[in-house]
Structure 1
Amino acid sequence: MPEPHTDPLDRVRAAAAERGLDIEIRERPAAASLAEAAVLLGLQPTDIVKTLVVKRADDSYLFALIPGDLAISWPKLRTVVGVNKLRLPEPELALRATGYERGTIVPIGSTTDWPVYADASIVGRRIAMGAGAHGYSLFVDADDLIAAYGATVADISQPAEPR
């Protein structure tokens, strides 16, 4: 289990190496929107994947990997997980559960290896996601990430609400 006090980027790199996962971490400028972030990274919005830490009623957690242009579908995720209650935790609980601040969360190098649930739409793609620290993005082949973490792949997303 990675030490929470170590540099987050070092934790991510070490955890990826332990699992034989080929990752690339790039510094990136701040973006005001998903569309702007995609342009800055040379990607489509669907290739930017959010890692959501989700709290169960028993105070355990899981990770849900959702493409940036979609939203989590709570009914679908509850069905796949087999529970009646799930929620997003407060930022301090997410930090305590993963060792990462909200907006940087990634399963790789989390202080606890919580189960990973990946939306089926990411299969077969190279994705960008949080890298454990603000101002950085991590690039990885989704299939390799899914295999390295034994992730459950299912349809757990829905169209995002227009803003």
Structure 2
Amino acid sequence: MMSKLQTAVTDLLDKKQIPYRLLPHKTPAISVQDAAEQRGVSPSQMVKTIVLRDMGGRLALACVPGDQQVDPKKVRQLLDCRRMTCVSSDEVKLITGFEIGTINPIVTATPMPVFLDIHFQQHQYINISSGDRMAGIELTLSDLCHLCQPTLASLCRELD
């Protein structure tokens, strides 16, 4: 078992006195499914955070359940722009301060609007990345919303 992990995310939660539970992994998580299994939670409680950019360079964080895919068209409509695409993997760390797989909606190097999928409203507790592949963080949906002030909307790709 790991001792208390300290990251920019845990530092912020501690500073703001937000209750959370650290969920350590035995091995570095390699996928959302792997992280969910190691944490003993449903992938639908996992917040998958994707960085999107429009043609003018405007950035946004789209947060969807771990078992879903973001539909960039839906985020595009919310921002009233013509095109939204995922940023390249090379740019993710520069923009967020975190590696792919450790991005979270509450601490980013570059401020940007956060969009949170409405599917999360069915859960009292949700899981975000701690900023480290060796642990996740469980907190209430209301605390997450208080911290990142997201726009709640339908963001998931419709399955055929």
Q: What TM-score range do you get, normalising by the shorter chain?
A: 0.7 to 0.9
Percent of pairs with identical residues: 23
Contact 2:60 2:114 in 1 (8 A): yes
Q: 1:92 and 1:57 mapped to 2: Cα distance?
A: 18
Contact 2:60 2:113 in 1 (8 A): yes
State TM-score, norm by structure 1: 0.81
Tell me whether 23-32 or 52-61 shows the greater mean CA deviation: 23-32
Structure 1 counterpart of 2:18, from 17, 21, 45:
21
* Equivalent position of 1:3 in the other structure: none
Contact 1:25 1:137 in 2 (8 A): yes
Contact 2:23 2:39 in 1 (8 A): no
Unaligned ranges ≥5, structure 2: none
Which amino acid in 2 is paired with 1:70? Q
Which amino acid in 1 is paired with 2:23? R
* Equivalent position of 2:127 in the other structure: 128
- TM-superposed CA distance for 1:65, in Å, is 0.7
State TM-score, norm by structure 2: 0.83
Q: 1:67 and 1:96 mapped to 2: Cα distance?
A: 24
Q: 1:71 and 1:21 mapped to 2: Cα distance?
A: 28
1:45 aligns with 2:48: no
Tell me whether 48-57 or 17-26 shows the greater mean CA deviation: 17-26
1:153 aligns with 2:149: no
Q: CA RMSD in A?
A: 2.3
- TM-superposed CA distance for 1:49, in Å, is 1.6
